[in-house]
Structure 1
Amino acid sequence: MKRVLIITYYWPPSAGSGVQRWLKFSKFLPEFGWQPVIFTPENPDFALVDPSLEAKVAAGTEVLKFPIWEPYQLFRRIKKGGIKDPSRILEQQNPSLLDQIAVWLRGNVLIPDPRRFWVKPSVEFLQRIWEDNAFEAIITTGPPHSMHLIGRDLKRKTGTPWLADFRDPWSAWEFLDTLKLTSFARKKHRKLETSVFREANVLVTISPTFAREMEQLASRKVHLLTNGFDPEDLPAGFSPVSEPGETLEIVYTGVIDSIRNPFPFLQALKEVFGSSRNRVRLTFVGKVSQQLLDRIREDDWLQEHVHLTGYLNHEAVFSYYEKAHRLLLILTQTKNARGNIPGKLFEYMATGREIIGLGDPEGDAAKIIAQAGAGKVLAHEDTAGLVRYLQEIRQLSPEEGREDRGQPFHRRNLTRQLAELLQGMQHP
């Protein structure tokens, strides 16, 4: 069996779709002749942690861990236990001078990202391992895009074929626009990105829009490899049909932050159900913004009909899926929005529940939902459309679920495509 080195910052117990992507690829790769070896930091700085995911690591998966030093550690010392990640300063209304300096340094000094100090020692460490345990291929996944620099330098030193996986864009990433970048910093990002585009054997990204945009920048083929879903994650006995009840249950899972706007849906929900005898409950499963908390506290009707669970581990989320009659998907409102395909979309589809989305009706996520017959996506500003939709489902009994909605995006099928790309690097 061929060995492939997968270099990723995010790995269990970290939570999030970036973790799920390579956790699942590593699970199924051995079925296609590739034995994954994971290289990840020994002491990473995760914003969200889900220890239950550690049990999902496939038996026999070799995980190499190497210490990392991150500027966030120094920042926290100065802040005396304040903000954990300077990037979260961007959501504050009145950041302090120290906070503003941290944002500027993040954008203009820590290029491409705060994990840049891990690149050189990681390459030296992996070179020593290479002497006794060679790999047939390298995979890097970013962001953080420093992971790609490790792959680039390893390829330069060993000649090993290398696949670079982009879960978000690099120089065109919307996040960079919030960091007060100088022209010098933008040129530096573009120079590093160009070296990765030029030297990687294969480029991969998660959405058709991102692939088209990257192809224009890279002047070469970029392969599409979406996220997906593993049916084995569904609990035993999970039913694709929701149970009828007196209350219409709508569930959203994931983060609500400054680029995911739930307020048009709240407005429409109250307009339709505020004076209705039909009962409704909207549940947010996950971390939500202070703005959403304040909005709910200011409104007695929302306090009664909107439920907040806070962050839950991945396994606990499925109990909310099972009781849901509809699943709410709130897509981003940014320049990268058209290519935004949240990992949870495929999980939503696998539950069999109908999806109602807020976002770009012509975006990649909306097209996937439409092609699968899994629901619909309405624009954030389409208040009338949201009202009509809620009026329709107010009168309906729970929809019959469909188990086949997520089948084209089964993690095993996606891993087969990945294995074909890896094999193609061996025999170009």
Structure 2
Amino acid sequence: MKKTLIITYYWPPAGGPGVQRWLKFVKYLRDFEVDPVVYIPENPDYPFKDESFLGEVPEDITVLRHPIFEPYALASVFSKKKSQQLSSGIISEKKQSFTERLLLWIRGNFFIPDARKFWVKPSVRFLSTYLKENNIDTIITTGPPHSVHLIGMQLKEKCGVRWISDFRDPWTTIGYHKRLKLTGSSRRKHKQLEREVLRNSDQIVVTSKTTKKEFEAITQQPIEVITNGYDRHGGRATEPDKLFSLSHIGSLLSGRNPEILWQSLSELTREREDFKKDLELKLAGVVSEDILKSIEAQGLKPYLNMPGYLSHEDALKMQRSARLLLLIEINSKETECIIPGKLFEYMVAGRPILAIGPENWDVRDILKDTNTGVSFSYEQKTELKEKIVSCYEDYKRGALESHPIGLQQYSRKSLTQKLASIIHKGS
């Protein structure tokens, strides 16, 4: 067994997609001769919690904890709601209050690379001793938050360990980065830190081909693509929703607002009486006020079902019962590389996927190659509406199904085997 230290901010009972990637890797790594030791914050301020993830942590795994200072707790003095939204990534694109502008400016320019930067120095002190005492020579950092990578970089310099940096999302090209009201010097500092991390990592792991290509322009270090994936959670729901439900599970943040979808649904409710009676729009998780206003403006409020944040288990059930699964991404060059973790759970739910995102989105090829759905750009309103009509006709005939192919490559165990081979390369 090769003992390996994994440094992550997100860990159960944290909820949301950020926790699942490394929880699943840890679950299977020992099947491939890697013994993981996990290092996490002792007192994190997670925006969402999901206690059900605790049951997936291997009982005999070593989990190290060390205190962290969380400035979002101080920000709540100004506005508890706004600080929670900022922590969870909700940045309104419309007119912002003075408090919102102030919090964004402070977040972008005082906390570089992010608000968890204060965990770096104490973690390096604590882990330097632990690595030496336990003869661990390989560490992995996963971000965001990208401040976690600074821990890895300093440990490599101080202890001479082999360092693998895992990027679940890009750094300076992530969609929200340009909305942080950065000064010129702050932008340069982010770019500098990004270059240092990429050039000092012994191995880089990313979740998409586009991110790999982007990073190859910055560093000559080896880069491997390991996407997120799915874990088997039983079969499909025996009974799909009675209504023609279009379901989205997960946060719908400002900017991720497909007006062409709301317009198409609105038009169909006016054009077809049967569609009007059958439609249901289910949005589970955090939904920004901007999107809710767009939905209401199209007269779709009567069809809206918002169950709120769901546990992972309940989210899986909702996926399996939906008629159509919605996958939505911001329409920008920067988001072409974003492959939401829920895509892979969607693919094994057995329901067709309707995706809306940038024209050259990496998701488009995955859907096509696995025969699990179709992706439309924000300029393809006519095609999108035609697809919805086609799916609705299949629904009425009882023939709306998904027929996936080649999904095994995206199983969590297969992906962990790929990761383990990278870890063993340094042995």
TM bracket, shorter-chain basis: over 0.9
Q: After TM superposition, give the deviation of residue 107 of structure 1 in Å.
A: 1.4
- Asked if structure 2 preserves the Cα contact closer than 8 Å seen for 1:349 and 1:405, the reply is no
Residue equivalent to 1:32? 32
The two structures, once aligned, show a CA RMSD in angstroms of 2.1
Residue equivalent to 2:346? 348
Q: After TM superposition, give the deviation of residue 129 of structure 1 in Å.
A: 1.7
Give the whole-Å Cα distance in 2 for the aligned partners of 1:344 and 1:131.
38
Code of the aligned partner of 2:51: P
- Asked if structure 2 preserves the Cα contact closer than 8 Å seen for 1:250 and 1:281, the reply is yes
Give the whole-Å Cα distance in 2 for the aligned partners of 1:122 and 1:100.
31
Q: After TM superposition, give the deviation of residue 80 of structure 1 in Å.
A: 6.5
Q: After TM superposition, give the deviation of residue 172 of structure 1 in Å.
A: 2.6
Q: After TM superposition, give the deviation of residue 221 of structure 1 in Å.
A: 3.1
1:105-144 aligned at under 5 Å gives the runs: 105-144=106-145
- Asked if structure 2 preserves the Cα contact closer than 8 Å seen for 1:89 and 1:103, the reply is no
C-alpha distance after superposition, 1:234-293 (max 9, x if no partner)? 24x435xx7477632221111111121133212112222433324222211212111233
CA 1:296–1:96 in structure 2 vs 1: closer, same or farther (change >3 Å)? closer
Give the whole-Å Cα distance in 2 for the aligned partners of 1:164 and 1:2.
18
Normalized against structure 1, the TM-score is what?
0.92
Residue equivalent to 2:22? 22
Give the whole-Å Cα distance in 2 for the aligned partners of 1:309 and 1:37.
36
CA 1:299–1:265 in structure 2 vs 1: closer, same or farther (change >3 Å)? closer
1:61-210 aligned at under 5 Å gives the runs: 61-79=61-79, 83-84=83-84, 86=86, 90-91=91-92, 93-210=94-211
Give the whole-Å Cα distance in 1 for the aligned partners of 2:149 and 2:244.
46
C-alpha distance after superposition, 1:37-87 (max 9, x if no partner)? 111111112111111111111221211111101222222235477633546
C-alpha distance after superposition, 1:296-343 (max 9, x if no partner)? 44565x233221111111111122222222211112223322111100
Residue equivalent to 2:274? 277
- Asked if structure 2 preserves the Cα contact closer than 8 Å seen for 1:148 and 1:164, the reply is yes
Give the whole-Å Cα distance in 2 for the aligned partners of 1:218 and 1:292.
38
- Asked if structure 1 preserves the Cα contact closer than 8 Å seen for 2:3 and 2:34, the reply is yes
Give the whole-Å Cα distance in 2 for the aligned partners of 1:316 and 1:14.
16
C-alpha distance after superposition, 1:182-232 (max 9, x if no partner)? 22112212222222112111011100001100111123432111100111x
Q: After TM superposition, give the deviation of residue 361 of structure 1 in Å.
A: 4.1
Residue equivalent to 1:363? 361
Normalized against structure 2, the TM-score is what?
0.92
Q: After TM superposition, give the deviation of residue 13 of structure 1 in Å.
A: 1.1
CA 1:60–1:403 in structure 2 vs 1: closer, same or farther (change >3 Å)? farther
**3-state SS of the aligned residue for 1:141?**
strand
- Asked if structure 2 preserves the Cα contact closer than 8 Å seen for 1:197 and 1:218, the reply is yes
Residue equivalent to 2:42? 42
Residue equivalent to 2:245? 249
Q: After TM superposition, give the deviation of residue 36 of structure 1 in Å.
A: 1.0
Give the whole-Å Cα distance in 2 for the aligned partners of 1:186 and 1:355.
37
CA 1:297–1:321 in structure 2 vs 1: closer, same or farther (change >3 Å)? same
**3-state SS of the aligned residue for 2:287?**
coil
Q: After TM superposition, give the deviation of residue 410 of structure 1 in Å.
A: 0.5
**3-state SS of the aligned residue for 2:77?**
helix
CA 1:27–1:84 in structure 2 vs 1: closer, same or farther (change >3 Å)? same
Q: What runs of 5+ residues in structure 1 fail to find an aligned partner?
A: none
Give the whole-Å Cα distance in 2 for the aligned partners of 1:298 and 1:180.
30
Give the whole-Å Cα distance in 2 for the aligned partners of 1:258 and 1:326.
22
Code of the aligned partner of 1:247: L
Give the whole-Å Cα distance in 1 for the aligned partners of 2:90 and 2:402.
41
Code of the aligned partner of 1:267: Q
1:307-326 aligned at under 5 Å gives the runs: 307-326=305-324
Code of the aligned partner of 1:258: S
1:286-301 aligned at under 5 Å gives the runs: 286-297=285-296
Code of the aligned partner of 1:282: L
Q: What runs of 5+ residues in structure 2 fail to find an aligned partner?
A: none
Code of the aligned partner of 1:20: Q
**3-state SS of the aligned residue for 1:328?**
strand
C-alpha distance after superposition, 1:117-161 (max 9, x if no partner)? 110111101122223212131000011111011011111111111
CA 1:388–1:82 in structure 2 vs 1: closer, same or farther (change >3 Å)? closer
Residue equivalent to 1:395? 393
**3-state SS of the aligned residue for 1:217?**
coil
Select which of 257, 263, 267 maps to 1:267. 263
Give the whole-Å Cα distance in 2 for the aligned partners of 1:245 and 1:391.
18
